């Protein structure tokens, strides 16, 4: 990376510490105050019109950036890995809903087990209808995949 590109990157990193929605003029003044490079010099780096960056300017930018905006931790995740993780989280959330519903169904079936000698209201047909209602309610609780 050239010194000009690195300087622009540092100026942008410092600028990101300003509140969202700040005007460019305010941002450049802020970077100038923090680095003491001068308004025109900061604007030149920001606008890609600077031809070279002196060592003392680079040092001032690095110090200000380190003080105000510590370097982000590099993420080695590709877009595919991030998408796969997101999809896995969605699937896990859906599975939790299914597990809760199955626990309810198991509890219902245990209460109305045939060896207890009592048929649920409406006989076996009523138990199956109730089970069907529970499965239908479960289907409504599962979020649909986006896409």
Top mean-pLDDT range of 100-109, 122-131, 138-147: 100-109
Cα dihedral across residues 38, 43, 44, 46: positive or negative: positive
% of the chain at pLDDT higher than 70: 71
Provide the 10 A C-beta neighbour count for residue 85: 11
Answer whether 0.85 is exceeded by the pTM: no
Q: What is the DSSP letter of 76?
A: -
For 20-72, how does the pLDDT look when each residue is reduced to its tens digit (9 = 90+)? 888 889 999 999 999 999 999 999 999 999 999 999 999 999 999 988 877 66
């Amino acid at each position: 990376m050239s010194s000009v590109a690195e300087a622009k990157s540092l100026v942008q990193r410092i600028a990101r510490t300003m509140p969202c929605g700040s005007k460019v003029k305010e941002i450049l003044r802020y970077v100038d105050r923090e680095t003491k490079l001068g308004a025109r010099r900061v604007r030149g780096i920001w606008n890609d019109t600077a031809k070279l960056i002196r060592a003392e300017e680079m040092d001032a930018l690095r110090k200000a950036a380190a003080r105000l905006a510590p370097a982000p931790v590099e993420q080695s995740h590709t877009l595919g890995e991030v998408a796969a993780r997101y999809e896995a989280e969605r699937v896990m959330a859906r599975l939790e809903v299914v597990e809760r519903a199955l626990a309810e169904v198991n509890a219902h079936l245990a209460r109305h087990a045939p060896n207890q000698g009592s048929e649920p209201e409406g006989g076996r047909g009523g138990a199956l209808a109730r089970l069907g209602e529970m499965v239908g309610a479960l289907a409504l609780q599962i979020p649909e995949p986006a896409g």
